[in-house]
Structure 1
Amino acid sequence: MEFRTDRLFIRPFRSTDLQDVFDIYKDDDTCRYLLHDRWTFEDRQEKFNKKVKNSSLSKETMLSLAVVHETKVIGDLSVWYTDMKDTVEIGYSFSSEISGRGYATEAVGNLVKKLFDEFHVHRIQAQLDARNTSSQKLCERIGMRKEAHFIKNYWNKEEWTDSIIYGMLLSDLKES
């Protein structure tokens, strides 16, 4: 899957994207609410290779996409099928350098449209750390609704954390 938006090119990762992706994931603030720690110089190639391998979405494989602005990768989108029929979960990370410019909203909003239109999914959901207010706002901007808030249900990075589930159906998709 690859597509263009007004300002972005969204495509599978390429081997030449390693440094841009490392720049995203070496940042402690970017990784604060993710399930993994920041990338190190020593493990970056191994972790990046997994993203390159995730080049198509199927019931068995996750899709990882680079969000490119001009010539630089500024974000990472992930999509995978859940155990529920025709339901996918999305995840995303963006460079802290581009915060506040609407790129994440543009990329994720267009991704959900593609998932409904081309993959004919029934439902899209996102599960996030409840402290990640930026991610909550992004979900709401693209038309997702908050469906659940679980209290201290997830053990991550040596602490119990709350998680929030956002979801949407095609009928929830906001007109742009």
Structure 2
Amino acid sequence: MDAWKESKPHLTGFGHHALLSNAETIVKAIKSGDLTDIFVIGGCDGTEKSRSYFSDLAKLTPQTSVILTLGCGKFRLRNLELGNFAGTHIPRIIDCGQCNDAYSAVVVALKLAEALNTDLNSLPLHFAVSWFEQKAVAVLLSLLHLGVKNIRLGPTLPAFLTPNVQKYLVDNLNLRPASMGHEKEDMELMLARR
């Protein structure tokens, strides 16, 4: 099925206020081990079938995880049937809005780190940012400003990432290009926090 075709209603409206109202459930699930990973998969994306990296990656996420999605990249995930998280009312795919709503995902991550008395890079949090146009720059720059490590970016890299800039980001923040056709290997690295 083409992920861009409308086939069923899509639940939206998970800004940081809605998500943080479930913070106690999320923190308890992380502490108990019921929630092992949180993936942020989104950004700007196109309709070409060759750009299926992000939907393929989402299909590989463990049942004990949730996916926060945002931007038009969410349309690659919206028809995936991943169910709810651990018998709760919380869906495994949580739509945080458009690219300009990336703020909500950042607020949730920061509050989660605070509640768990840790930092962003110590959370069971993984980022896969789809790059297609300029709006995704705001998402990427926000994450880089926060010092987030191990971001997957692609499927093509933006032109402003010159070889020197890319080397700096790889060496200092372990930014990795999305490996088209190697989603399983990328998922293994993400789960190993690399």
**TM-score, with length taken from structure 1:** 0.35
Higher normalized strand content (fraction of residues) = 1
Tell which has more relative contact order, 1 or 2 (C-alpha 8 A, sep 6+).
Answer: 2
**TM-score, with length taken from structure 2:** 0.33
